[in-house]
Amino acid sequence: MKLFIYNFLFLFKRNRYINYKTSGTKYTYTHPDYFQELLSAISFNVNKKELSKTFQNFLSKKAYVFGRKVDIVFNKDFFNNFQFSNNVKKPAFFNKADVKVPYEIGRLQFLQKVMLHNFLEENQDPELNFDYLDEIILSENNKIIWNSPMDVAIRMISLIFVKNFSTKIDNINEFSYFKNLDSVISKDFEFIKINYENKGDVVGNHYFVELASSLLFIANYDYEDKELDLKSTIDEISKEIELQFNNELTNFEGSLHYTALMVEALLIIYFSLKSLKKQNELYEKIREVLIINNYFIKLNTNKGELSQIGDNDSGRLFYFHFDEKEPLKLLWLNNLIEEIIPESKNYNHVSENIDKLENIELNKINNVTHKEIKAFNDDFKHYSFPEFGLYIWRNSKDFFSIRCGEIGQNGVGGHDHYDQLSIECFSNNKWIARDPGTGTYTDDIKTRNKYRSLEYHWGPNVEMSFPIEDAFDCFKLKYMSRGQVLKFDKFNFVGYADFNEKRIYRKVKFSDGVIIIQDFSNDVELSEYVNWGQENNGIKVEFSEGYKRFT
């Protein structure tokens, strides 16, 4: 019955999605100011070989999706060999197929690299053929790519960048796709406006990306109601920044890779406001959020790869430098921020120590001591992000973090894992303990739940039964409490969390090049880690290098 109601409500919304009529409003492209600045930033340190490969794939009607080269077809899940019908009536095909695969192709992100390639190459291909995209975008046989307003928003961002490039490349506007481009972009814009995902238990990154895409459209086109849309969009963005970013300005979803996505959305807004000559209070707030989150991302980056605390399912708004073969490498995003906001290079985070241990006698609680970790022979610094729930120690060679704090999305935990008190450790260019990543979502609920589980993370080593969670629980976190920090300073950490109502404490001590980790509980039997993951690249059980990328 739950599945029937779920699908019925989605079907009601989806029919509203695809049966809307465009308004007939006249939209005029304005040649926005931001693009030259963006073009200068993305043209720096370009991997021309990668751009050329993407271009050649495009000519062969192929693109990379979640690391796999596939045909540019919008109604197929190539990973599960599942063909979607022309009239998809539900948002998820539990344990059968993943709608995110056609959604991802439908974003048309690969066109960003195609256009950058053609801009940078002196001998631009006069035979460049975009005609088949007319059929794909406008066809009645590809209704699935209108199921998700957020994915339409990402497609529109890519197409606006294509439009921006088209004014820089000779003769390209002669192709039929470019003659229709304004109408395709405006159709996406009107669709997004009437289908904002701003209702429900969680209003998060989907709505924020949709607002960012709308502001980008407004920065690129003149039309009758532009000023009204501009005011309402800026008002909504201002409100959502207050709701979706913590007081410390980290993101409320509780995921490092969703932090990166939101940073991209903020950059879209930043460029748009600057182009619209709206360098106002919101503009300065976004600048501050970008600076802090740029630093936060860099703190959690090792060997160029961003750690995967929380979900990492996909989502790139700036695809120009993204590497499908190495999806965790996001230094290009840090470089983009620092190119646009040079002072972000000089930010220095200040952390406050915590000491609330006076009423806790850990020595009276059953405990285990894990194998010591040798790291931090050299001096190091400590960093706290309490509202995100992440505490970090690092220097140029060593990195250690522990997850302890809020459940994301105001307690819903849609993109959280069972990772309270879980650690990551990287030392001398080698992983000792590493977060497992995400795996996949609704097409394989068993795998989804494994990668979220306590068993897959370097948290307390316990054998604990959790209630069986059905498919509808795969975007909720029901059996783990928020973490509570009792002590935090340069050399010490103590915190606790409840796992299925069983309380466990974890203590970490840094002393003379050694990290000592102890767990304490009278509620559950604890076991020690006699080895960490240094012989397996830090992996405890299995590892997913990004969404659907298994190693």
What are the pLDDT digits (tens) for 362-389?
999 999 999 999 999 999 999 999 999 9
Instruction: Determine the pLDDT at residue 3.
Output: 44
Q: Which amino acid is located at 274 in the chain? A: K
Each residue of 432-452: pLDDT tens digit? 999 999 999 999 999 999 999
Instruction: Determine the pLDDT at residue 144.
Output: 85
Q: Are 314 and 100 in contact (CB under 8 A)?
A: yes
Strands 354-355 and 367-369: what pairing?
unpaired
Residue 322 and residue 107: Cα distance in Å, rounded? 14
Residue 19 reports pLDDT greater than 60: no
Instruction: Determine the pLDDT at residue 173.
Output: 62
Residue 360 and residue 376: Cα distance in Å, rounded? 28
| Predicted confidence band of residue 337 (pLDDT cuts 50, 70, 90) | very high
| Predicted confidence band of residue 353 (pLDDT cuts 50, 70, 90) | very high
Instruction: Determine the pLDDT at residue 20.
Output: 58
Instruction: Determine the pLDDT at residue 269.
Output: 98
Render the burial of 496-507: b for 16+ CB within 10 Å, e for the rest: bbbbbebbbbbb
Instruction: Determine the pLDDT at residue 24.
Output: 87
- The more confident residue out of 24 and 495 is 495
Q: How large a percentage of the chain has pLDDT more than 70? A: 91
Provide Rg for the chain, Cα atoms. Answer: 24
Q: What is the 3-state secondary structure (H, E, C) of 250-309?
A: CECCCCHHHHHHHHHHHHHHHHHHHHCCCCCHHHHHHHHHHHHHHHHHHHCEECCEECCC
Distance, first Cα to last Cα, the chain: 37
- Round the average pLDDT of the chain to a whole number and report it: 91
Residue 77 and residue 59: Cα distance in Å, rounded? 21
Residue 13 reports pLDDT greater than 70: no
Instruction: Determine the pLDDT at residue 127.
Output: 59
Using left for φ > 0, alpha for ψ between -120 and 50, and beta otherwise, residue 87 falls in: beta
Residue 544 reports pLDDT greater than 50: yes
